[in-house]
């Protein structure tokens, strides 16, 4: 009888939303990712991890200590299953727009999740706004995405300004802890939108934190040589060098500094190239001590007990550990599924209300975040990043201090 009631309700809801009736025992979520083309490697990982999430949500299994970790379908929807329908954006904003539209109108998706690049997220979220279904941004990091007055946009991941704020909070904390605060930074950034946005946020925060910008160096990405740039960093000799670089430049600048006998006191990277395996092998011992922000900490199992279980299942399926992207993707799916479950309805408007009411503590996720709680722009304000440092060739979490697996090696005197 209860099932029947929900069915009727769902039918009415679906009719009200202008979509054909849905069986209540299945809730369709659309996922738009680059499954072919130049973003395919990331997109196929996203597909794999979302399928892992779908299995965890629907099937019976040993409970995992996290949000929606019990399995067996959506309890408040009579055990309804989540079905994810994937669509290929080919990393093209226009194809992403068309695919999002198709997922909503043909596949009757009640929410869309996506999409790796911020450019595709911008078009998808326009479509979801028009059709009034929630867009769950799992892994898009451009700060402007939630600043467009959209009602149906939600983002669990931190964006680049929050990442930068975390770096400066770390500077403050480590200064208080060691008695050696950061007095000056050198900004070193490549000349495309990533570098200019990242350095813009850093410049602003250095100003408000009373930290001197000793050098402000915009360099040409993929230059054959960075030795003169290294010379300028050496001349400035700031307490912390803050690079925003892709992999090739990250390798080159560390080598170039070494070649002129310059050992920086500290490096704090805006992830990107510095989080790549190619950087760690390419820079080799020179990378030791380098710090970078990250939104995920694989080594935080002590405070996030769900990590080993989820990672093991994902690794068995895809042969890789969870990383910065895949961890954020499965977390976004769980947050969305929880909202649908709490709504007790597959009606987009109810899901939206439930998303707005979301307040999940960080310990209920696999992320090192304080939690998930959306502000009026749809941005998760509790998505606090971590700072990691390279020791023995891999990154280890050193901040926030309660999540740290080891002490920071702090070279600032």
Q: What are the residues binding another protein (CB under 8 A)?
A: 191, 217-220, 222-229, 231-232, 235, 247-248, 251-252, 255, 258-261, 276-279, 281-284, 286
As a whole number of angstroms, the distance between CA 295 and CA 236 comes to 30
C-beta closer to another protein: residue 31 or 217:
217
Beta-carbon count within 10 A of 407 CB: 13
How far apart are CB 27 and another protein at their closest, in Å?
37
CB 245 within 8 A of CB 268: no
How far apart are CB 394 and another protein at their closest, in Å?
16
How far apart are CB 237 and another protein at their closest, in Å?
12
Beta-carbon count within 10 A of 409 CB: 13
Which helix (H) or strand (E) is 388 found in, with range? strand 386-391
Q: Please name the residue that has the structure tokens 């695919």.
A: 99
C-beta closer to another protein: residue 153 or 246:
246
How far apart are CB 186 and another protein at their closest, in Å?
12
Task: Bin 186: left if φ > 0, else alpha if -120 < ψ < 50, else beta.
Answer: beta
C-beta closer to another protein: residue 176 or 260:
260
Whole-number CA gyration radius for the chain: 22
C-beta closer to another protein: residue 278 or 361:
278
C-beta closer to another protein: residue 231 or 381:
231
Both tokens of 387, joined, read: 């700072």
How far apart are CB 34 and another protein at their closest, in Å?
15
C-beta closer to another protein: residue 1 or 41:
41
Task: Give 287's contacts (C-beta < 8 A, 6+ positions apart).
Answer: 254, 279, 280, 390, 393
- CA nearest 168: which of 157, 158, 182? 182
Q: Which 3 state secondary structure label does DSSP give 202?
A: helix
How far apart are CB 39 and another protein at their closest, in Å?
12
């Amino acid at each position: 009888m209860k099932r029947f009631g929900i069915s009727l309700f769902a039918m009415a809801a679906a009719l009200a939303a202008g979509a054909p009736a849905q069986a209540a025992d299945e809730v369709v979520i659309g996922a738009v990712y680059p499954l072919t083309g130049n973003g395919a490697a990331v997109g196929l990982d996203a597909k794999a991890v979302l399928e892992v999430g779908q299995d965890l949500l629907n099937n019976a299994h040993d409970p995992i200590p996290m949000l929606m970790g019990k399995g067996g379908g959506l309890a408040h929807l009579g055990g309804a299953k989540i079905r994810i329908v994937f669509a290929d954006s080919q990393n093209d904003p226009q194809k992403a727009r068309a695919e999002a539209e198709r997922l909503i109108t043909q596949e009757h998706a009640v929410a869309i999740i996506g999409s790796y690049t911020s450019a595709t997220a911008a078009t998808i979220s326009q479509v979801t706004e028009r059709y009034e279904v929630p867009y769950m941004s799992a892994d898009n990091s451009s700060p402007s995405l939630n600043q467009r007055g959209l009602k149906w946009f939600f983002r669990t991941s931190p964006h680049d300004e929050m990442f930068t704020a975390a770096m400066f909070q770390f500077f403050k904390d480590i200064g208080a802890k060691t008695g050696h605060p950061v007095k000056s930074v050198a900004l070193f950034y490549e000349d495309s939108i990533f570098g200019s946005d990242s350095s813009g946020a850093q410049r602003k925060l250095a100003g408000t934190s009373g930290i001197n910008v000793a050098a402000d160096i915009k360099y040409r990405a993929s230059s054959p040589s960075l030795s003169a740039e290294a010379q300028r960093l050496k001349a400035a000799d700031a307490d912390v060098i803050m690079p925003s670089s892709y992999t090739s430049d990250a390798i080159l600048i560390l080598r170039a500094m070494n070649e002129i006998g310059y050992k920086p006191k500290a490096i704090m990277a805006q992830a990107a190239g510095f989080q790549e395996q190619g950087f760690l092998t390419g820079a080799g011992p020179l990378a030791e001590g380098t710090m970078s922000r990250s939104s995920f900490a694989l080594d935080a199992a002590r405070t996030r007990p769900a990590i080993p279980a989820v990672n093991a299942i994902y690794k068995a399926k895809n042969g890789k550990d969870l990383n910065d992207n895949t961890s954020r993707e499965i977390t976004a799916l769980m947050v969305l599924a929880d909202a649908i479950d709490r709504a007790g309805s597959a009606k987009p408007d109810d899901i939206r209300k439930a998303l707005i009411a979301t307040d999940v503590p960080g310990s209920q996720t696999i992320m090192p975040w304080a939690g998930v709680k959306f502000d009026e722009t749809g941005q998760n304000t509790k998505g606090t990043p971590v700072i990691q440092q390279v020791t023995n060739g891999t990154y280890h979490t050193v901040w926030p201090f309660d999540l740290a697996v080891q002490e920071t090696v702090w070279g600032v005197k």
